[in-house]
């Protein structure tokens, strides 16, 4: 049975700029928004768009991600024909290879795609927070008679040179592609989400693989080759919420935007476009006497006896009496002990912040750093972690880190 379109999700990224958060897990598995992981967004988008076959290309630290995806049931992707498949690099008769680039990752899985005999393949990225209807994108692709389409966002002109840019004519047809140019001719940034006609994609993947000088990358090789050959290439304008959460500050910012759906546009309270995730299975959260909770999101298993302001607490976080949590993202299973002050920072999973310890600081003047504490770290009593610190080892009581 042929599928009209299947999705290939690039989830191999190491996310090195998230350093302390991605020591033990791949970037798409990084927790987000109280009860989600980043990969929940593309996966939920697929299901909500009617795509029931997703290949997830993994390579870096796949353990957490593999376990998290499991059989795909939380996303309704446990299917008889199709469903979700985790695709790590594998050994072949001709030898084995790590995924050399984004295009090579897809190339090595041509036989997976062929099993479903799709007309179209959508290439997704596992490190973006975005709610997007891929079926609308496909409709555009078909209406234009395109062979390749890319989703683009308008970005401010002064930031355009940080992106891969699509120069288009009045009919959205792509005439030129500029990768991080000094002098941008367009402000339409590629979101790294592509729809290909499968026959075209396959042809260019094989051709690209045969080129020893290629970096096997979509942006650097495949797209320029399509342009060179004058293929029908179109840019699909997306104007919903989209955020690349590749850095600590952008990850922190995106989490904070979840707290303000009215202005930021990232609404997780959307009955018609639910974001699915694997459930923690904990009881409802408790807010004790004397606690102060303001403008925050709190989920199952949390215990709050202290003060929580403008923060996101993931499942099972404990905030003891007298502790203050402000402008913070605190991931699952972390305990913040009595009297500790945790501000303007990201604290990863299963961390203990000791009594009266201080983590991060509210921004003042030029100082806007987001302190980061990696998973399973123990921060001793009275320790102090500065606003620009990135901590991935235990901190002894009373010690200071900047």
Rounded to the nearest whole angstrom, what is the least distance from the CB of residue 274 to another protein in the complex?
5
What is the smallest separation between the CB atom of 229 and another protein, expressed in angstroms?
A: 44
Instruction: Count CB atoms within 10 A of the CB of residue 71.
Output: 10
Closer CB to another protein, 75 or 234, in the complex: 75
Q: Count of CB atoms within 10 A of residue 24's CB?
A: 15
Min dist CB 323 to another protein, Å, is 16
Closer residue to another protein (CB): 118 or 316:
316
Q: Both tokens of residue 69?
A: 């995806």
DSSP 175-219: EEEEES-SS-S--EEEEEEEEEEHHHHHHHHHHHHH-TT----II
Comparing CB distances to another protein, the nearer of 153 and 268 is 268
Confirm if 393 and 375 have CB atoms less than 8 A apart.
no
User: Rounded to whole angstroms, how far apart are CA atoms 141 and 210?
Assistant: 28
In angstroms, give the least distance from the CB of 309 to another protein.
9
**For residues 374 and 18, what is the distance between their CA atoms, to the nearest angstrom?**
10
Backbone angles phi, psi at 148, to 5 degrees: -145, 135
Comparison of 312 and 346: residue with beta carbon closer to another protein = 312
Strands 335-336 and 358-359: unpaired
Q: Which is nearer to another protein, 33 or 118 (CB)?
A: 33
**Is the C-alpha dihedral spanning 159, 163, 168, 172 positive or negative?**
negative
Question: Closest CB to another protein among 46 and 188?
Answer: 46
Whole-number minimum distance, CB 13 to another protein, in Å? Answer: 26
Closest approach, Cβ 300 to another protein, in A, equals 6
Nearer to another protein, 27 or 318 (CB): 318
CB of 297 to another protein, least distance (A): 4
193 vs 293, which CB is nearer to another protein?
Answer: 293
> CB 285 → another protein: shortest distance, Å?
6
Please give the distance of CA 67 from its chain centroid, rounded to a whole number: 17
Of 62 and 306, which has the nearer Cβ to another protein? Answer: 306
Residue with tokens 């991080």: 180
Give me 206's structure tokens: 């094989």
Site residues (CB under 8 A) for another protein?
Answer: 33-35, 73-74, 259, 268-269, 274-277, 279, 281, 283-291, 293-300, 303, 312-313
344 CB-near residues (< 8 Å, 6+ apart): 326, 327, 328, 360, 361, 362, 363, 369, 370, 371, 387
Q: How far is the CB of 30 from another protein (least distance, A)?
A: 17
- Return the exposure string of 304-329: e unless at least 16 CB atoms fall within 10 Å of the residue's CB, then b: bbbbbebbbbbbbbbbbebbbbbbbb
């Amino acid at each position: 049975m042929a599928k009209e379109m299947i999705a290939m999700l690039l989830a191999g990224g190491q996310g090195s700029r998230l350093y302390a958060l991605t020591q033990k897990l791949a970037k798409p598995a990084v927790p987000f928004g109280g009860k989600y992981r980043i990969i929940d967004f593309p996966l939920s988008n697929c299901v909500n768009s009617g795509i029931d076959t997703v290949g997830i290309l993994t390579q870096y630290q796949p353990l957490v991600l593999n376990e998290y995806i499991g059989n795909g049931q939380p996303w309704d992707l446990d299917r008889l024909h199709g469903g979700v498949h985790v695709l790590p690099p594998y050994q072949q008769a001709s030898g084995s290879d790590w995924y050399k680039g984004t295009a090579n990752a897809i190339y090595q899985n041509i036989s997976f795609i062929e099993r479903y005999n799709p007309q179209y393949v959508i290439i997704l990225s596992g490190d973006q927070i975005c709610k997007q209807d891929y079926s609308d994108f496909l409709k555009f692709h078909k209406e234009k008679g395109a062979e390749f389409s890319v989703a683009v966002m308008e970005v401010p002109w002064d930031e355009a040179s940080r992106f891969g840019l699509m120069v288009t004519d009045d009919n959205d047809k792509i005439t030129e592609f500029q990768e991080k140019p000094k002098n941008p001719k367009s402000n339409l940034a590629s979101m790294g989400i592509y729809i290909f006609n499968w026959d075209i994609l396959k042809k260019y993947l094989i051709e690209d693989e045969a080129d020893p000088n290629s970096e096997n990358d979509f942006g650097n090789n495949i797209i320029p080759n399509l342009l060179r050959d004058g293929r029908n290439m179109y840019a699909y304008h997306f104007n919903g919420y989209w955020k690349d959460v590749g850095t600590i500050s952008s990850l922190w910012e995106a989490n904070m935007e979840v707290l303000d759906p009215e202005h930021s546009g990232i609404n997780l309270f959307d009955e018609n476009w639910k974001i699915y995730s694997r459930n923690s299975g904990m009881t409802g959260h408790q807010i004790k006497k004397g606690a102060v909770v303001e403008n925050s999101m709190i989920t199952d298993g949390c215990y709050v006896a202290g003060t929580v302001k403008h923060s996101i607490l993931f499942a099972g976080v404990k905030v003891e009496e007298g502790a203050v949590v402000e402008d913070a993202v605190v991931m699952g299973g972390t305990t913040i002990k009595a009297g500790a002050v945790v501000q303007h920072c990201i604290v990863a999973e299963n961390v203990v912040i000791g009594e009266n310890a201080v983590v991060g600081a509210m921004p003042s003047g030029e100082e806007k750093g987001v302190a980061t504490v990696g998973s399973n770290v123990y921060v001793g009593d009275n320790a102090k972690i500065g606003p620009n610190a990135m901590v991935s080892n235990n901190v002894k009581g009373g010690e200071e880190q900047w």
